[in-house]
Structure 1
Amino acid sequence: MADVIEREWQFDAPDLAVVERWLQDQPVHAPFAFAFGEPKEQVDVYFDTPDWRIHRAGFTLRRRAKGDAFEATLKSIDRGSGDVSARREVTELLQSAELLGGDGEVVSRVRVIAAREPLQPLVEVRTRRRGVAVLRNGHPVASVDLDETALVHQGAVAGTLRRVEVEIAEPAIERELTGVVRSLAKACALTPASTSKFEAALAAAGLSPGGNLDFGSIVLDPAAGAAEYGFAWLRRQWAEFLHHEPGTRLGEDIEALHQMRVATRRLRATIALFRGVLPARLEVLRDELQWAGHELGAVRDLDVQIEHMHALQAGVPPEEATALAPLIAILEEQRAAERQVLTELLDSARFEALVQGMSVALREGPVVAARRVPRAADPREALPVLPGTVRRPVRPPGAAHDGGGEGSPGPAGRAPGRGGHDRLAARDGRRAPRPAARGDARRRG
């Protein structure tokens, strides 16, 4: 298994033969020598879940076939900034073509991200590659790959590419190699590639990762009316909530969980603010968002504490830093336990009902959703009961309501800050306490 940061230049090439001749014609006294290998065929198939969870977690998932050998790779989508692409790459050898047949670092991560969702092939990338070793004093320090690629979707070629990729193996030579790469690009009319092979294949196949998070209009137009405005804001935040769920499951970047929690608070604040013009079913779903937000908050609090302790540890003498290590270990153990509870929550039927309920309500919009609610003393009696929910009494007209937290779309100075929903709820006599045992009520969903 390899877990590395791949650093490389990527170029589109009008003619790979010109590149070959340029490399072959370099003088013997040049700082680098080039050793040509034989062309080889490789077939890459990219996979994701039907709702693009791998992509939303920030990765592509690739199964590569080289002859009878297979390997699985998770590669980060973010290529960084600058001329050199820098992406994390985690690779695992497979015993067969069965992608989930292994038990290494790639497969274990994929299982966490995908949860119960199946994997499906998206596109196939067939490449004829001629590798060229870049040598310094006889030792390989980089490689140049000359790729002729066919982009295949549903058995048909949807596009072709000619690429030159220069991958750095020894970071110390990057600065010196940069000059050679620039000379190569200028002499051979190479242009920096604007997309990865995966992105080019998706475009050729007409596939878009963001389509499943489209819940309707997100235009914040005051002229459309309060209900439409509120729905547009809710759709934005709900897309953010779902976008960060796979990264929250994986847990390698604490920012994903933070953004998911922020979206939860903003959703609750918006439902409270626009309560008078939104369908009653959203009030029930608001309670469910609070339930999910409690556990997100529990993990987030520990993330912040651990991050703070590491920063404190870095700024004190070594003996004091050593003394902080046991405390950090305790916090990390607590976080692992809370993350297990959070994973069970995200896997629960109750959370699935929340996702389905919010998604359907937001796609229907205010008019359709409102028409489905009977004009009764308690319109929520007409709604299906989500697993594990308890309905509260209807709030009498004019009664105070709780807020939701940072980022609400209300007037300046009126939106409650962090914890505002708890303070206002307490004032209103309706504070919802945490369960006494963390593995109790929240695990029953």
Structure 2
Amino acid sequence: MLARIPATAAQELELKFQLGVGALEALQGEAFPVDQAKVSQLHAVYFDTASLALRDGAFSLRVRRKGSSYIQTLKHRASGGIFDRDEWETQVPGPDLDLTALTDTPAQAAVGGAPLAPVFSVEVERRVHLWVRGDVRIEVSFDTGLIVAGDRQEPVAEMELELLSGPPQALFDLARELLGKAPLTLAFESKAERGYRLVGHDGVAALKAQNTAISPTITGGEAFQRIARDALVQIAGNARLLQRAHNPDVLHQMRVGLRRLRAALSVFRGMLDPEGLNAARSETRWLAGELADARDFDVFLQRAATPDEIDESAGRTAFFRALRIAQADAYEHALAAVRSDRFRALLLMLGEWVEVGGWQRLANDRERALREGPVTALAAPVMDRLDRRLRRRSHKFREIDVEARHDLRKLAKKLRYAAAFFGGAFPEHPKRRARFIAALRTLQDHLGELNDMAVARTIAMRAVGRRSGELAFAAGLEVGRLTHDEDVVIDAASDAFKAYRKVRPFWSLPGDRKKDLNLSRPRLQSA
């Protein structure tokens, strides 16, 4: 008779790392000798409906062969967790699914009776070691092999640390120790997620931001973790893809993930420990700076007129050649950062801080209230403060210089991210929320276009350098084409500010907090 694990979710605590060049040899030499490993060959087939309903519900379902036995496993990642997943396991007699094992699991509703069929497979050799220190027991696994979807395949070279006993902090302590011995990069994409990307023929497509689920009932601490986790997934996933192809959209989405994380640091700073917050701000600022030039060159070239739109001259040809050379150099600079020890340490530091950082142990009454109280108590005052600042400062939009305009754009972007983060926490006025976010999006589009114009001048100068003559003349002409309608865009941005000031916020402050914080809204004025 086959043993069956009860249909209740067990929680898996693990960290996954991509193995860099030489990492496997370095770690399996002294730390984890090959001759002391438990070696097995694993073949797993992943199943889904024709419409990939399980993937869309954040599930993965596989049957794995290990030796002569078969294990069916259903996993679920509901909120972008870094190292926790719900898991249901069942021993089965062969490679086929046991559909009865899905009964009373969340996947049953996702499938809805649709037939399940194989979609891709994973074949790896696994070497397993048991790491023991005091009461801490961690399973250390090295997986090497292939993910196969039809005629497409992708290599696997991973290390996983799974906590068997002891506190979650122990996972990060061991990870940091191993990071000092070998190039390891914290990874969040599972083999299943990578397999689905191959199935969709989008193996190098950019990873976009997920809609983080923030409900009125979760705490401020839970909200911060969910938002930060999703941002880290976006940053790390696109960093891996950037090393496979110089894809402007991948670079852009990596920067979006960084901006979302930096916005979260600002929004939640009232409940975060200063040491961890300062380290996170410093390292993410460094990374954003390393990626900035490559993105600026991408934007310039994307906005520039194509040869069939304008007469090509020798000077213009030379200018664009210089631009592409500078763009390639900027990408190499960005890639050097992504491949660096500093980036690997940054990901591990952020992952550790988000999951088990000192902010969770702050005993101050205010910090604890923000962390443990409902997220709405934190979100409403933060958004109200940002909203008031943006409304107040926008009245002088036409009078401010480029630098002040850039600061105003960053403020609008921070409010837009906050509104996106917390939209689900204030479900009472969905139409008002939609109008508010739409007004911010339009405003941000115009401010972004003005910023692109300002950056275009800097980028052109950087590509030309000290050269003059026909090359510099061509650069001036191109910048002129890109910025000729600046006054029109300024008018559009001013109108967008007027429209924004007419929309009502979708959140509400507790009555006692409104008086204490002096958050009365200023009288609306015309621009």
Structure with bigger helix share is: 2
* TM-score normalised according to structure 2 size: 0.35
Give TM-score, length-normalised by structure 1: 0.41
